[in-house]
Amino acid sequence: MSRSEAAVKAMGKLFHVECFFCDRCHRELQGEQFYEVNGEPLCESCHNNTLEKCAVCNQPITEKLLRATGKTFHPKCFTCTSCKKPLDGQPFIVDPEQNVYCVEDYHRKFAPKCSVCNEPIVPEDGKDETVRIIALEKNFHVKCYRCEDCSKQLSSEANEDGCYPLDGHILCLGCHKSRVNKGLRS
């Protein structure tokens, strides 16, 4: 049988061997694995060029594709910027520069720090939100929001249990009055 008589059956059609070629690069596909894309045969190299590329490793994504932050990733390449923990199926947060973080590392890096204990103000384990108190342009955990003189727990409400600042100090009503009466202004 001559070359022109040899045939290739592919994609439900019969082709002469010399007529069965990659639709993009026109390389003959006889005996080579090919891919059908939109009814046309493609060689592996041309097929891979049609695939989306991973935003991290820039390699074609041939298996599961993950979309996040407007980009595509291999699941193994979608990781926390800080700890490199895989984030496929995990909650994550994106910073203003589009860096991706696991929730813990994002809070560790960006959460405001308490002015008393200097620890980040983050949600407790298993919770999505937390309360932060801001007084005198300082951040406080609820548990750290206390009178500087007597350590009484202060309320964030504007009432008699709230904060009565004096000369940059966080005070309860009683300690505020005491300092004013004694003339202790700093």
71-108 pLDDT, tens digit per residue, is 999 999 999 999 999 999 999 999 999 999 998 899 88
For 46-82, give the DSSP string: HHHHHS-B-TTT--B--S--EEETTEEE-GGG-B-TT
Domain housing 39 = 3-50
Distance CA 178, CA 158 (A): 20
CB 124 within 8 A of CB 94: no
Both 7 and 44 in one domain: the answer is yes
**pLDDT of amino acid 75:** 95
| 39: CATH | 2.10.110.10
Distance CA 186, CA 179 (A): 9
Please indicate, yes or no, if residue 82 is contained in any of the structural domains.
Answer: yes
pTM of the model: 0.60
Our count of domains for the chain comes to 2
Please indicate, yes or no, if residue 22 is contained in any of the structural domains.
Answer: yes
- Average pLDDT over every residue of 136-151: 94
Per-residue CA distances from 79 to 55, 70, 90, 101, 156 (Å): 12, 15, 10, 8, 38
Both 37 and 75 in one domain: the answer is no
Residue 121 pLDDT exceeds 80: yes
Please indicate, yes or no, if residue 16 is contained in any of the structural domains.
Answer: yes
